[in-house]
Amino acid sequence: MREREIIAQLRRIATDPAARGLLDDAAVLGDLVITHDTIAEGVHFLPSDPPASVGWKLVAVNLSDLAAKGANPIAALLSLSISGDGRWEAGFIGGIAAACESYGLPLVGGDTIGLPQGAPRVLGLTAIGRAEGPVPGRDGGEPGDVLWLIGWVGDSAAGLAQLLASKHAHGPLVDIYRRPVPFLAAGRALAPHAKAMLDISDGLLIDALRLAEACKCAAAIDLGAISLSEDFIEVRGDRLEARLFAATGGDDYALLAALPAGLDPSTLNLPSGTTIRAIGSLEAGAGLKLTHDGKAVELPEVLGHEHHGHFAPPMGDRD
């Protein structure tokens, strides 16, 4: 059964307004924003990844959800599975501690369970944030709104590809795959103005389509406008094939925001050095339209990651 089919069933239960119809990555209770992400060995991280980087990543992917809501992190609950002699867990906890300290996130509780020998590790974190103003969802955009990409896409997928080719791979792309950086300050600056906003965890194209569907619009994306880092271009290039790879790879934790057409984000209080580019717009209709160098591009067979009821290769946060 596909992920969206499971979520459709859960919507029958999640009827409280705080759930926002399960159209978002977070629940909103008053001024509290609550999100939960689970990462699994062999799906979201490699068995050979350093345990400290896995701990960091678990915190960062949850904070990325808070960033998309413009919330300040205030507390976290950890679900930790234990297996073996405890050395892996010690490194993992060190990574959790480093990320919590870096982002001022107090760990206030959680749960631990033991796993059978050899079972893949499954780890979860609930992050709680506080919003100082309106919390943008995915469904507020309208035709004519401009889609802005905050951050780069493709680095993490490229780093993962390097590790799949050699577990000894290293460099900046591997680093960003293992230690993503949430855009908390940029999210806070954009939230009061964003009509819709989400973080890109499953791939730019599939997440842009999800935003458009929630807004009951079509999304038009110019692949030539998406932001690619110098490190990505050095390894993968910037031709159409590389841009499609970047736009579908996932695990990016950049932000995608629908802003009114007349708003210039450079006038907002964004952190110094923030990478933000207009990459398309919302239009009347439905679906996803791609262009590159002014020409229409056929949609790739796979837009990003979506869970199925079977094993999938490690690719990202996976709502």
What pLDDT is recorded for position 310?
40
Is the distance from CB of 62 to CB of 76 less than 8 angstroms?
A: yes
d(CA 196, CA 219): 13
What pLDDT is recorded for position 19?
66
* Span(s) in the chain for CATH 3.90.650.10: 146-297
d(CA 221, CA 81): 40
- Is the pLDDT at 275 greater than 70, yes or no? yes
- Is the pLDDT at 311 greater than 50, yes or no? no
d(CA 251, CA 36): 16
- Is the pLDDT at 186 greater than 80, yes or no? yes
d(CA 208, CA 212): 6
What pLDDT is recorded for position 307?
56
d(CA 40, CA 9): 23
Find where tokens 């893949």 sit: 120
Lowest mean pLDDT among 138-147, 239-248, 279-288, 309-318: 309-318
Query: Under CATH, which number does the domain 3-131 receive?
Result: 3.30.1330.10
Q: At what angle do helices 204-215 and 240-248 cross, to 10 degrees?
A: 60
What pLDDT is recorded for position 65?
96
Per-residue model confidence as pLDDT tens digits over 21-51: 667 789 999 999 999 999 999 888 999 999 9
Per-residue model confidence as pLDDT tens digits over 91-102: 999 999 999 999
What pLDDT is recorded for position 1?
61
d(CA 260, CA 196): 10
How large is the average pLDDT for residues 45-60?
96
How large is the average pLDDT for residues 187-192?
97
- With CA atoms as reference, report the closest residue to 141 among 259, 229, 222, 251: 259
Is the distance from CB of 158 to CB of 235 less than 8 angstroms?
A: yes
What pLDDT is recorded for position 238?
95
What pLDDT is recorded for position 317?
41
Assign a CATH topology to domain 146-297: Phosphoribosyl-aminoimidazole Synthetase; Chain A, domain 2 (3.90.650)
Distances, alpha carbon 244 to alpha carbons 44, 144, 170, 224, 304, in Å: 21, 24, 23, 10, 10
In the three-class reduction of DSSP (H, G, I as helix; E, B as strand; rest coil), residue 171 is classed as coil
d(CA 153, CA 159): 12
* Span(s) in the chain for CATH 3.30.1330.10: 3-131
**316 pLDDT tier (thresholds 50, 70, 90):** very low
How large is the average pLDDT for residues 8-14?
76
d(CA 62, CA 127): 6
pTM of this prediction exceeds 0.75: yes
